[in-house]
Amino acid sequence: MVNSRRLLFTISFHHLCNDGTLMALVALVPVLVDEMDLSYYDVGILGFGLLITVVVQYGVGRIADRAFSRYLLEIGAGLMGLSFLLLLLVNDFVGLFTVVIVMRVGAAFYHPVGTSWITRAYGGAYLETALGVQSGIGNVGVIVALGSSGFLAEAYGWKLPCMLWAALNLSAVILGLTLVEETGIKADGKRTAKRTSAVHTFRKIGILAVPIVTGGALYQVTSYFGPLRLMNSGEWSAGSADLVFALWIGVGAVTSYYFGVMSSRFGKRNLLRFGYMISAVSVILLAFFSDWYIVGGILIAYGLLLFTTYPALFSLISDATEEHERGTAFGILFGLQLGGGAATVYLSGFLADRLSDPAYAFWIVFVLALMSIISLEIWDRRALNVRGA
């Protein structure tokens, strides 16, 4: 019988390495802008590389549904580590984008495999706790990456963080191969024989498409352009700008851990609604203010609620789908989330480059957050109509 705590730790550690590596690259962007003479438009194209993950992870999700294998996580972690080793060898935008391609392929493995693995291996009241834990530990990786990479790059050069995150991903591969011998998923010939089309699965979760896209866009645009916005004000260094946004994610990590409790108290739909309301207000304020005490307050409120929307969406997807289609469902979810983030980062880079100010990037996600609030209101009204019928 698989050790449930060991399994949750191993999957969550892969989440830490996956999300931390992605954020380490984002944290290095302000340094690389000067090092490799990148424009805001180049930054937008780097973010657009998320589409690679969108395409690949859909295929990974389908594979996981047909023949689930724990080794899929190790393939992803291995590619993530390799990407940062390759980054040590590049010195221009073309080389950097090539590294991003490898990294984005590697990043395509965790979410459709790791998240669906947890929903299959855990059930009942513990499921939401397990989802909150893996989400929170993933955020820890982001916090460490964002809080340390800029400072390490300024003090010792940008290649040191690359070597550290490459080593962490390789350690995840070793841990995955040594700590977990069983998946914790019960074999069921009838269940694995089932085949559900992606269209059928999408119909179950399509109503959440706008909030899912917005969640990805808010996270990506804030991560890519938040530090650049503060540095553009002339009052922040790369390290200090990265650090204050690590605070944003740090607050989010805490609320992710307590998602199960918060969901029981307030309800998943209310957390989603308030999460997007606070996010809309926060991003528009970030476009105008750069004083540390104002930005700090905004990011605390922003982090408190935005990061509860992710496990809330995971839980709703789990409720709406059957076990044998979870890989496909989470592949679709993260495809929409990352695809929305990719497209929005690209548009944000284009707009910021044309107007010579990264603050304009926040206007795009402000509109998306408002659209999500409207979408959730329509969703709730439809649900009331169905129950009243």
Alpha-carbon gap, residue 337 to 314, rounded angstroms: 12
pLDDT at residue 364 is higher than 60: yes
Residue pair 325/292 in contact (Cβ under 8 Å)? The answer is no
- The Cβ-side half-sphere exposure at 276, using a 13 Å CA radius, reads 29
Alpha-carbon gap, residue 378 to 375, rounded angstroms: 5
Q: CA geometry: angle at 272 spanning 380 and 230, to 5°?
A: 140
Closest CA to 135 of 271, 43, 260, 234: 260
Residue length of the chain: 389
Q: Which two tokens stand for residue 247?
A: 């605070």
User: How distant, in Å, are the alpha carbons of 47, 48, 162, 247, 267 from that of 372?
Assistant: 22, 22, 36, 25, 17
Q: pLDDT per residue over 198-247, tens digit each?
A: 777 777 777 778 888 999 899 889 988 998 899 888 788 878 888 888 88
Listed in sequence order, the residues at least 6 apart from 23 whose beta carbon sits closer than 8 Å to its beta carbon are 141, 142, 145, 146, 149, 223, 249
Q: Is the pTM of this model over 0.95?
A: no
Q: Is 160 exposed, middle or buried (0-12, 13-18, 19+ CB in 10 A)?
A: middle
Q: Is 74 exposed, middle or buried (0-12, 13-18, 19+ CB in 10 A)?
A: buried
Q: pLDDT per residue over 262-304, tens digit each?
A: 877 888 788 888 899 999 999 999 999 989 899 999 999 999 8
Q: Which two tokens stand for residue 272?
A: 């989603």
Q: pLDDT per residue over 91-146, tens digit each?
A: 889 999 999 999 989 998 888 888 778 877 776 667 777 877 887 788 788 888 88
Alpha-carbon gap, residue 20 to 175, rounded angstroms: 17
Q: Which domains does the chain have, with CATH numbers?
A: 4-180+201-381 (1.20.1250.20)
Alpha-carbon gap, residue 365 to 357, rounded angstroms: 15
Report the first-to-last Cα separation within the chain, whole angstroms. Answer: 45
Closest CA to 109 of 162, 59, 155: 59
Q: Is 91 exposed, middle or buried (0-12, 13-18, 19+ CB in 10 A)?
A: exposed
pLDDT of residue 188: 47
Q: pLDDT per residue over 3-29, tens digit each?
A: 577 888 888 899 999 999 998 998 888
Residue pair 252/307 in contact (Cβ under 8 Å)? The answer is yes
pLDDT at residue 191 is higher than 50: no
3-state SS of the chain is: CCCHHHHHHHHHHHHHHHHHHHHHHHHHHHHHHHHCCCCHHHHHHHHHCHHHHHHHHHHHHHHHHHCCCCHHHHHHHHHHHHHHHHHCCCCCHHHHHHHHHHHHHHHCCHHHHHHHHHHHHCCCCHHHHHHHHHHHHHHHHHHHHHHHHHHHHHHHCCHHHHHHHHHHHHHHHHHHHHHCCCCCCCCCHHHHHCCCCHHHHHHHHHHHHHHHHHHHHHHHHHHHHHHHHHHHCCCCCHHHHHHHHHHHHHHHHHHHHCHHHHHHHHCHHHHHHHHHHHHHHHHHHHCCCCCHHHHHHHHHHHHHHHCCHHHHHHHHHHHHCCHHHHHHHHHHHHHHHHHHHHHHHHHHHHHHHHHCCHHHHHHHHHHHHHHHHHHHHHHHHHHHHHHHC
Q: pLDDT per residue over 306-353, tens digit each?
A: 988 888 877 777 777 776 777 677 777 777 887 888 889 889 888 988
